Amino acid sequence: MAKARIAVIGAGLMGHGIAQVFALAGHDVTIYDAARAGLDTVKDRIRTNLKDLGDDQNAANRVTPVAELANAVGDADYVVEAVLEDLPLKQKLFGEIEQHVRPDTILASNTSVIPITDIMKGLKRRERALGTHWWNPPFLVPLVEVIETEWTTPEAVAFTMKLHADAGKKPAHVKKDVPGFIGNRLQHALWREAIALVENGICDAETVDAVIKAAFGRRLAVLGPLENADMVGTDLTLAIHKTVLPDIDSRPAPSPYLEKLVKDGKLGFKSGEGFRKWTPEQQQALRARVLQHLKTARAGDA
């Protein structure tokens, strides 16, 4: 894809990583954040990531921090927003952005779960708006879900899919704006049953995680569930579902077990205990393990 002018709004965890990916792909990137500290540190944070990954550190020179929203987006072909997960904030921001961009500039939100329709419904030109759901860290996890609303044009979707594919990401087209898009619906269907297994005394939390990591988790990166179903046979899958599905948790609300953990202040890493107890050393070791795994996978992709 020809060099594009990208504006990233929000220079936090996701925003700086998204800016990094686009800059490394050769695009000119402006980045805006309401907090001065976020802007002042963003190039250093990107340079540190690039160095750590062995990527071209000159890419950081294509990122320009801009202190005024109007200046950050004025020339942009494509704007992606990664500010706090707050619907009124995002709605207000896109209303402001729309006053400063060209009529054909594509506008994307990196919301985790807020419907794109709700964020974009107040825009004058809703047809150029969509969602792009990146995963953390943006420069290590390949997937970007590209979510269209009932108003989004096929051209806006096609441009966004190509922009991300050409930047080395794996874009997935989400054709309807449903809560959780694709990835988080699948992930949280699994988490619901994981919690239910513990809640019902079938095993402890450590065992749930061990079973996944030692069994189908090993295959998941190369064998999706529907490939797997075809591999074993849809007839066998049907037979398994007839036996297992009636027993799998299907409650349409969070588990009372999870509600109680939160009520008791067992918030996970941040309080030292959630489903399990975590020392600071164990937390650090797990974070380092995940990061190393993602780096190894990325090296394997190259």
Ligand X SMILES: NC(=O)c1ccc[n+]([C@@H]2O[C@H](COP(=O)([O-])OP(=O)(O)OC[C@H]3O[C@@H](n4cnc5c(N)ncnc54)[C@H](O)[C@@H]3O)[C@@H](O)[C@H]2O)c1
10 near ligand X (CB under 6 A): yes
Interface pick for ligand X out of 33, 98, 145, 177 (rule CB under 6 A): 33
43 or 196: whose CB is closer to ligand X? 43
Question: Torsion over CA of 189, 191, 196 and 201, rounded to 10 degrees?
Answer: 150
Annotate 44-75 with b (16+ C-beta within 10 A) or e (fewer): ebbbebbeebebeeebbebbbbbeebeebbbe
One residue of 6, 7, 8, 15 binding ligand X per CB under 6 A: 15
Q: Can you list the positions of beta strands (E) in the chain?
A: 5-9, 28-32, 63-65, 78-81, 106-109, 129-134, 143-147, 170-174
- For this structure, is 71 an active site residue? no
Residues contacting 100, CB < 8 A, separation 6+:
69, 70, 73, 74
The question of whether 133 is a catalytic residue gets the answer yes
Interface mask toward ligand X for 110-129; x: CB under 6 A: xxx-----------------
Active-site entry in 16, 81, 109, 145: 145
By CB under 6 A, residue 13 contacts ligand X: yes
Residues 67-96 that bind ligand X (CB under 6 A): 82-85, 89, 93
Q: Where are the beta strands (DSSP E) in 166-221?
A: 170-174
Q: Closest approach of Cβ 23 to ligand X, in Å? A: 17
278 is an interface residue for ligand X by CB under 6 A: no
* Smallest distance, ligand X to C-beta of residue 16, A: 8
The answer to whether residues 129 and 94 touch, using CB atoms and an 8 Å cutoff, is: yes
* Residue ranges in 166-225 that form contacts with ligand X under rule CB under 6 A: none
Binding mask 225-244 for ligand X (x = CB under 6 A): --------------------
Q: Are 142 and 108 in contact (CB under 8 A)?
A: no
Residue 33 or residue 77: which is nearer to ligand X going by CB? Answer: 33
Stretch that binds ligand X, among 33-41, 56-64, 70-78, 230-238 (CB under 6 A): 33-41
Q: Residue 4 Cβ, how far from ligand X at the closest point, in Å?
A: 21
Pick the closest to residue 71 from 96, 92, 88, 49 (CA basis): 96
Distance between CA atoms of residues 122 and 118, nearest Å: 8
Q: What residues make contact with ligand X under the rule CB under 6 A?
A: 9-15, 32-35, 38, 82-85, 89, 93, 110-112, 134-136
Instruction: Cite the active site residues.
Output: 112, 133, 145, 184
